[in-house]
Amino acid sequence: MDFIKKIIPSAVSSTGVTKSVSDLRSLIEGDPRLYALCSQMFREAAPGNPFVPNNLATFIVQLNTLVQSAPTFSTNRWASSPLTRFIEPYVRTSSGYNFFVHEKVNDVFHKILKEWSDYLWSSESAAVLTDKPNGWFSPEALTAMPDFEQTFICDPEMPHWGFSSWNDFFNRELREGVRPIGEPNNLAVVVASVEGTTYKIAAEIKEEDEFWIKDQPYSLKHMFDSDPTVRDFVGGTIYQAFIEPTSYHRWHAPVSGTVIRAIEISGTFCPAQRDSMSLDDWVVASQGYAVHTATRNLIFIETAELGLVCCLYAGLLERGSCETSVKPGDYVTKGQQIGMFHFGGSTHCLIFGPNVKVRLDDKQHVRVGEAIGVRD
């Protein structure tokens, strides 16, 4: 709760509350059911912990301070995702979980995230891009992001290493040639689309399944939000990987081919699986559930060797948005940039149809452009 400790002094006044945070307060106060859920979650969440707000007024002020601040670096894995840390004590309770997945609350949080994203594009948000303690270029941060200067376009001699805002840093670009493409001329080879950690490889995917249960099977109908393209992938294979907060967040084409479709599905702000809330790392444990429920972009690429391939990118919790940068009709080559995540935790899937057998590598960590599979 490092971030919460820092903003405790701010919890004395609600002046300067952003419109979206004010809308959340009005929604809670005006809806008896939401007010009751809120009151119950304040009683249940971390009783006796002075860093966890136990009333609506303090909760609103601290949330307002959070979304007008840029994340600082921490060696604690999720501390650099402050909204995740902020809601964690509440979402672990039954009443808090029901509060955060409520449709009206979800709608307001989308607006809160948009306002926060606007702040994170401001020059003021670059204040955390320093070599001071908890700065993103401190010795501890650079240890967590090895070879940063050699890997990304930056200039350590410039203020904030040349980044104009927090989001400019978060969406940093790779230097040319640092991520070579695996067998670029072999169209049967699949390369990593993101810089991530392999979560799961699954085959014989069903059109509809109980994706919310503990072992989290995939359910194509829900992943695709009933889009008719789902029928092309029933019985196929899925590769899923997630992206750490300190990692690179742009997407690159895993295959070469023609983009035939690109869609965006508006999902839930808090895509956490209820059964995962008792686990220490509930964010990772909810990865499979999240690709069915979070806001996500799907890009469909028609290829010569691998048939139709779906690339699914899902933004979690404090994500600003998922941004696709290609359109139907574009021809993309392996390794070409096709979009990006804005701030927040994120996960992605590559989905292959049943008529093509792809042998996928389950190596734990993958880099963009690295070969991760080949057609049998």
Domains and their CATH numbers in the chain:
2-120 (no CATH), 124-170 (no CATH), 189-375 (2.70.70)
Cβ atoms 297, 264 nearer than 8 A: yes
Rounded to an integer, the average pLDDT of 253-281 is 85
Distance (Å, whole) CA 212 – CA 275: 8
Cβ atoms 228, 300 nearer than 8 A: no
- pTM, whole model, 2 decimals? 0.91
pLDDT confidence of 277, banded at 50, 70, 90?
A: low
Least confident window among 88-92, 154-158, 233-237: 88-92
What pLDDT is attached to residue 279? 66
Which of 149-163, 337-351, 358-372 holds the top average pLDDT? 149-163
Rounded to an integer, the average pLDDT of 132-147 is 95
Long-range contacts of 48-52 (CB under 8 A, 24+ apart): 49/1, 49/89, 50/8, 51/1, 51/4, 51/5, 51/8, 52/1, 52/4, 52/89
For the record, the structure tokens of 163 come out as 């980044």
Question: What's the pLDDT tens digit per position in 118-139?
Answer: 999 999 999 999 999 999 999 9
Provide the mean pLDDT of the chain: 90
